[in-house]
Chains A and B, each alone.
Chain A
Amino acid sequence: MIKAPSTSLLRAFSPLWRAESVPWVARGCIAQQVHFSTAEQRMARKKGMGPKTDMRITLIRYHLQHPLTPRPLRFSRTRALRHWTIHRAWRLYQNKLRLTRQLELERQYNSMNAACEALRLMDGDGLTQEERSKLGAEIEGSNDMGRLYRIAMKKDDGVRADAVGKGVPIEYARIQTETPPRDGWNSAWTR
C-alpha cells in the first residue's frame, strides 16, 4: 500500500484548503497569491469570472511595490527650515557625544601608556636610574630594570581581559572569596 504523500504544503498554500480561515476582505488577496505549482497558471478563463479581487488590496500592493517608496516628502518653507534646524542640532549633539567618547578613550590610553612607561624605567626597588643616582644608591645592582613592564607586555599566558594569544579569558578566573575554599571539604582530615 503506497503511503499518500503529505498534504502539509498543499494545506499551507492552496487557496481551496485555506479559504475558511481568512476574513472575507482578504479573500481576494489570498486568491491573488501562490498556487500549488510555481509554473505559470495559463488557464483560460472567462472575462469577469475568476477570484474577486479587492481593489483596496491591489492598490496597497501597488503602492508598496512602487519604485519610489518611500516617496520623497515635500515640505513647505517653514517646515523645511524646522527640519533643517532639528537635523543640524541632532548632528551637533551626536558629534559632541562622539568627541567626548573619543577624548575619554584617548585619556585612558594615555594613562595606560604613561603607566607602562613608568614600569619600563623602574627596577626591582621601584626607582628609576635618575632617582637611584640622586639618592646615591648603587646603580649596578639594578639588574631587573623594567621586569614588571615585560611581564605586563606578555600576551600569551595567564588570565587576560581580552584573551589574545594563548591567554585565558578573564571570565574563567575565580574571584577571590572567603568561602567556599578551593580545596573543598577534606573528610580525611585528622588532627
Chain B
Amino acid sequence: MALDRSAGRLARCIKCTRHDRILPIRTFTTSAASRLEVQETQTSSDAPPPPATADAPKPKLRDPNTVSTRAAEQQLIQHQRITPVGSRRRRAAIASTSNIPFSELPYQCFQEARALLQADRKEKLEVIRAQRERIERLKAKDVAPQDEAHKEKRLVDMRRKLEEQKILADINDPVVKRKFEDGEGDLTKPIYRLLADRQWRSYRRTLLLQRITQMNVVPDVLPAIDSVISTTLSFAGKRVQHGDFVDSLMSEQAPIMQIQPYDKGKRLYTVVVVNPDVPNVEKDAFDYRCHFLASNIEISPIDTRVHLGRLSEESQVILPWLPAYGQKGAPYQRMSIFVLEQPKSDDPSSGSSHQTLDVAAVKETGRYTQRHGFNLRSFVDKHLLKPVGVDLFRTQWDEGTAAVMQRAGIIGWDVEFKRKRVEPLPYRRMDSVRYR
C-alpha cells in the first residue's frame, strides 16, 4: 500500500523499496534528470484535457482509522465531519500494514510460544474432561448415610479443583488478556471473573479498606469485614468515591449501587445503611441510626445494578430510604453501607440457592424496624448473614440540609449543636526558681 506523498515526520526510509512507489520521490537535487522526470509526468497528466464538469470535484472519502497526514486529517474533519480515531502513529501503522489477526502475526518466537501454550492447553482440557468424569462417577455412587458428609466434602474439593483447572487452561492466552483489558470480558466465564477480581484487589480494594479503616467504620459498626464484593455508589447519576462528602440535596433520593461479585451464580443480598455518628447529648456519645434496610436483592456477576429506591415494598424493603443529614454544629456523619450475603438454602430442591429473608416477619416482629438505636451486629447474627461488601459516604450540614430534613419530616432541622465550654484548670505559677 502506498504511503501518502508528504508523510513528513513519519519514519520512512527513502531507499526502502518495500512499499510500491507510484509517485516520484522528491529528491534533494534539482538536477536535469529529475526535472525532466517531473516535467514529463506533468505533461502526461496535462495531455488529456480535464473533463468539463459543472459540479465541484468530489473529495476522496477518507477512513478515520488510516489518515496520517495533517492535510488528510483536515479534509476528513471538514468534508466528512468525523474526527480521526486513535493516535497518528497508530493510524500510520494501520495504513502501512496489512490486516493480519493477532494470533497469526509472523514472528517466529511468538508463534513457537503460541504452539507451546496450545499444547499445554490441550493437556489442561484433557485434565478438565477427566475431572468432570470423576465428579459424575462420584455423584452417581451410592454411599452409606454416615459417609454422605464425606462424599459431599469430596465433591466440593473436586469441583474447586475443576474450577482451578479451567482457569489454568485460559490464563496464558493473550487474546483473553486483551479482551479483558478492553472491557469485553464475559463475566460468566471463570477466567474473566478471576482477572476482574485480581484487578479490583490490586488497587481499588486496598483503597476501600484503607478508607474504611481510617474512618473506623469497621470496629464501630461491625467487628470485622473481609470485602469480597466490589461496590460502586452513585447519587443522582453522579459517581461517589468511597468516603466522599455528598451534598444533602443529592443524597435525598436513594442511590444506585453496582454490586459486583466475583464468584459464579445468583445470590441474594441484604443492603443496610447505618449512621454510627448520631449525637446523643445526654450520654455525651453517639448512637446508631439505620437509614435503609432491604433484603432479597438478587445479584449475579452479570446482573449487578440495583436502584435502592425501586425495590419491592412488600418483599424486599424493610426500612425505606431516609435522607442522610448532619445537623448543624455536629461533626460530619459517616454513612456506612453494608452488603450482607443471605445464607445458602438448606434444601437443594428449592428454586433459588439462597434463603429469602422473610421481610414481613421482620416488620411484624418489630425489633429491627426502629431506625434509632439499630444494632447491625444483632441483625447479622439473628439472620445468619455474612458481611461481604462495604461502602462509605459522609454528610455534613450544608445549605440544603434544613430543607431536606423538613421535607422528610425529621424533627431537629432547627437544632444547632454547640460544644460545651470546658473551664480550664486554674493555673498557678510555681516559684520563679523554675523559670529561667
Give the interface of A toward B (CB within 8 A). 76-78, 81-82, 84-86, 88-90, 92-93
The CA of A55 and the CA of B165, in the complex, are separated in Å by 59
Known: A77-B178, A89-B116, A92-B117. 13 other contacts (CB 8 A): A78-B105, A81-B178, A82-B105, A82-B107, A84-B174, A84-B177, A85-B113, A85-B114, A88-B172, A89-B112, A89-B113, A89-B117, A89-B172
Give min CB distance, A100 to chain B, whole Å: 14
Taking residues whose C-beta sits less than 8 angstroms from the other chain, chain B's interface range is: 10 to 19
The CA of A175 and the CA of B382, in the complex, are separated in Å by 83
A93→B174 contact, CB < 8 A: no
Residue of B nearest to A84 (CB): B174
Give min CB distance, B408 to chain A, whole Å: 51
4 closest pairs, A vs B, by CB? A89-B113, A86-B113, A88-B172, A81-B174
Give min CB distance, A186 to chain B, whole Å: 66
Give min CB distance, B112 to chain A, whole Å: 8
* 8 A Cβ contacts from B377-421 to A: none
B105→A85 contact, CB < 8 A: no
Contact of A78 among B102, B112, B114, B116 (CB under 8 A): B102
SS of B interface (majority)? helix
The CA of A81 and the CA of B105, in the complex, are separated in Å by 12
User: What are 27 A-B interface contacts by the 8 Å CB criterion?
Assistant: A76-B93, A78-B102, A78-B105, A81-B174, A81-B177, A81-B178, A82-B105, A82-B107, A82-B174, A84-B174, A84-B177, A85-B110, A85-B113, A85-B114, A85-B117, A85-B172, A86-B113, A88-B113, A88-B117, A89-B114, A89-B116, A89-B172, A90-B113, A92-B117, A92-B120, A92-B172, A93-B116
Given A78-B102, A78-B105, A90-B113, residue A85 in contact with residue B174 (CB < 8 A): yes
Task: Give a binary string over B104-131; 1 marks a CB under 8 Å from any A CB, 0 the rest.
Answer: 0101011011101100100000000000
Given A81-B177, A82-B110, A86-B110, residue A92 in contact with residue B116 (CB < 8 A): yes
Residues of B within 8 A of A92 (CB): 116-117, 120, 172
Residue of B nearest to A77 (CB): B178
The CA of A90 and the CA of B107, in the complex, are separated in Å by 15
Residues of A within 8 A of B105 (CB): 78, 82
Give min CB distance, A74 to chain B, whole Å: 12
Residues of A within 8 A of B107 (CB): 82
Residue of A nearest to B175 (CB): A81
